[in-house]
A and B are shown apart, each in its own frame.
Chain A
């Protein structure tokens, strides 16, 4: 019964039983417009993208920043490259463009001078990341322990041979993947939790709803992938709730949620927020007891892994890797 597993239906049911009213608006300021697509053509003033709904012509300005393995100019906007474009606050011109960007986060299985083999967690399989001498040096600056069993988090670009690392996404936690500073089992859950939000995956890839039947999120108003999905470290493992049985406790006391649950996420740096949908167990995020220093130093622990579109829409820079985040708990203003 897909309708029964619709997140909005669940919210309706929850309000019916526990009370509360629909929020007048989403958490925080509105997200920015984000588009994903393939570059068809580009000039210094216009970027033409092939999106899921058709061709989009996006004005570019002198301040539009382009990333392709590092800061690049308009020359990097070559046809065929996968682009994620974040519009400016007015939604009129492209503000940031990321080309062929991707991210590999997980536990190192093996490390050679030219290759990293990474376990992405039970839901995502494994990835082999190519390293060149320059990127290897860059990665090792913030990942001093490239040894099996340690965590790794690198930014990549697409290449015909697979993902190619271009630098570290965040600093490597000093602990092994299994050596977590977990909270006490009886640690209470505060009304809101602050920590780190990161992103995962590749822009343009379909996002599963995590509901076990292979369905993906419905297209957004414009037909593009909506990017609602979020991987959450404390997914209930009982029954068909989503299964997070392989996940460690994590290093933040988080309430248990099922797949399909809502998560009110606010970027502390930009003030932008949205209600995202838990679509996957954040088994990998649970292992990272690190901080984000995008705007001040966040408390330890990754609370959510967003899709790239959602991350950029909330004001995060994909090449920065993280932003400080606040997540409010409770059913629409009510405590649990």
Chain B
């Protein structure tokens, strides 16, 4: 029975390495959120000992992930096909290193996820991930006593091998947060289709939180039909104002149409895909109105005649309104 357990570890580790390889190659990690401008080494000027975590985060790049995945795949295949002691020693060292890496990430950057299974390992590094890595290392140490290649293990007795393997798989499944992520991904039909055809299946960062470079916004705008319609009417190529509100970046330009100066406003989506461009033309407003003491009723809409700007302004455009905020009303003397 001891021999069976030792040899089953080889099969288990080979399967895990191949699964990690496939996950890293097929499932991209979500785009990182706001990058820490200080690289995580300083917090408002306070030095923080984080060099190991920073080095580990470097391994989380797409290219480094691909290389790591390929190395894991080769090692997994070697465990399956070869009974060489050296292969199992390399696997043991690899799992020990992975355990250290997971512990470091848990201590310094738990929110980044461990990346053990590529884009599936995005959940916070918790105690379960550390225990799992330690158990994998223990299994690798046990596998040092094995004598067979992974593919030869079933010959030891299908029933016993299957029993031990099922027990271990159940244990590791209970320690794997990736399963929940995988199930969540499976719920979306579109994502499932994307997986089936091998396309990237990561969940996009919501448009409200997605960092959309201004160059991307300008490229989307300049390729839109609305821009082409009004490009020759713009007084200046530089926008008067640019700002972001959740899923849209707004750009205001001054345009001259039929000898009338107007404000041309574009709202460009910040979504990762299928970005839209909305626009509106507004008459110039001379000066911003003073802050009223109470909200004013909405005045009648101003609509640009269709003859002047065909199919441009589709919505009513009420003038500015300000929020009343009577923090400091005059005091009775």
- Nearest A residue to B293 via CB reads A221
Stretch of A63-71, A134-142, A240-248, A318-326 with 4 or more beta carbons under 8 angstroms from chain B: A240-248
Query: Cβ of A4 and Cβ of B252 under 8 Å apart?
Result: yes
Output the least CB separation between B85 and chain A (Å). 41
Output the least CB separation between A93 and chain B (Å). 11
CB-CB contacts below 8 Å: A58-84 with B: 58
Output the least CB separation between B298 and chain A (Å). 5
CB-CB contacts below 8 Å: A209-267 with B: 218, 220-228, 234, 236-241, 244-249, 253-262
- What 1/0 flags go to A1-28 for Cβ under 8 Å of B? 1011110111111111111011111100
Q: What residues of B have a CB within 8 angstroms of the CB of A35 in the complex? A: 328, 331
Query: Cβ of B285 and Cβ of A9 under 8 Å apart?
Result: yes
Given contacts A15-B318, A21-B298, contact A9 B288 (CB under 8 A): yes
> At the interface, yes or no: B256 with Cβ under 8 Å from chain A?
no
- What 1/0 flags go to A79-94 for Cβ under 8 Å of B? 0000000000001000
> At the interface, yes or no: B168 with Cβ under 8 Å from chain A?
no
Output the least CB separation between A43 and chain B (Å). 16
Output the least CB separation between B292 and chain A (Å). 9
Given contacts A241-B244, A336-B245, contact A11 B288 (CB under 8 A): no
CB-CB contacts below 8 Å: B198-248 with A: 202-214, 240-248
Interface centre among B33, B204, B240 (most CB of A within 10 A): B33
User: How many CB-defined contacts (below 8 Å) exist between A and B?
Assistant: 278
Q: How far is the CA of A33 from the CA of B30 in the complex (A)?
A: 47
Output the least CB separation between B134 and chain A (Å). 22
Q: What residues of A have a CB within 8 angstroms of the CB of B241 in the complex? A: 1, 4-5, 10
Q: How far is the CA of A108 from the CA of B40 in the complex (A)?
A: 16
- Nearest A residue to B31 via CB reads A185
Query: Cβ of A189 and Cβ of B325 under 8 Å apart?
Result: no
CB-CB contacts below 8 Å: A169-217 with B: 176-182, 184-189
> At the interface, yes or no: A316 with Cβ under 8 Å from chain B?
no
Query: Cβ of B327 and Cβ of A34 under 8 Å apart?
Result: yes
- What 1/0 flags go to B93-131 for Cβ under 8 Å of A? 000000000000000101100000000001110000000
Output the least CB separation between A153 and chain B (Å). 14
Q: How far is the CA of A8 from the CA of B282 in the complex (A)?
A: 14
From the candidates A13, A55, A56, A106, name the one contacting B265 in the complex (CB within 8 A).
A13
- Nearest B residue to A124 via CB reads B44
Query: Cβ of B111 and Cβ of A275 under 8 Å apart?
Result: no
From the candidates B244, B266, B322, name the one contacting A236 in the complex (CB within 8 A).
B244
Q: How many residues of B contact A (CB 8 A)?
A: 83
- Nearest B residue to A245 via CB reads B37
Q: How far is the CA of A58 from the CA of B291 in the complex (A)?
A: 25
Q: How far is the CA of A44 from the CA of B322 in the complex (A)?
A: 39
> At the interface, yes or no: B289 with Cβ under 8 Å from chain A?
yes
Query: Cβ of B44 and Cβ of A1 under 8 Å apart?
Result: no
Query: Cβ of A11 and Cβ of B244 under 8 Å apart?
Result: no
Query: Cβ of B245 and Cβ of A181 under 8 Å apart?
Result: no
> At the interface, yes or no: A149 with Cβ under 8 Å from chain B?
yes
Q: How far is the CA of A34 from the CA of B329 in the complex (A)?
A: 8
Output the least CB separation between A146 and chain B (Å). 13
Interface centre among A18, A51, A54, A253 (most CB of B within 10 A): A18
Majority secondary structure of chain B interface residues (helix, strand, loop or mixed): loop
- What 1/0 flags go to A297-336 for Cβ under 8 Å of B? 0000000000001100100000000000000011100001
- Nearest B residue to A24 via CB reads B295
Interface centre among B111, B250, B278 (most CB of A within 10 A): B111
Query: Cβ of A255 and Cβ of B208 under 8 Å apart?
Result: yes
> At the interface, yes or no: B19 with Cβ under 8 Å from chain A?
no
Query: Cβ of A256 and Cβ of B246 under 8 Å apart?
Result: yes
CB-CB contacts below 8 Å: A275-291 with B: 275-276, 283, 287
From the candidates A22, A180, A240, A329, name the one contacting B298 in the complex (CB within 8 A).
A22
- 29 intermolecular pairs with C-beta atoms under 8 Å apart: A5-B241, A8-B322, A12-B319, A12-B321, A16-B313, A17-B279, A22-B318, A26-B325, A31-B327, A33-B329, A107-B46, A109-B45, A121-B44, A176-B43, A176-B48, A178-B40, A185-B32, A187-B209, A220-B325, A220-B328, A221-B326, A222-B329, A238-B249, A241-B243, A246-B38, A255-B247, A256-B211, A310-B325, A331-B246
Mark B residues whose CB is within 8 Å of A: 30-38, 40, 43-46, 48, 50, 108, 110-111, 122-124, 202-214, 240-250, 252, 263, 265-267, 270, 278-280, 282, 285, 287-289, 291, 293, 295, 298, 313, 315, 317-333
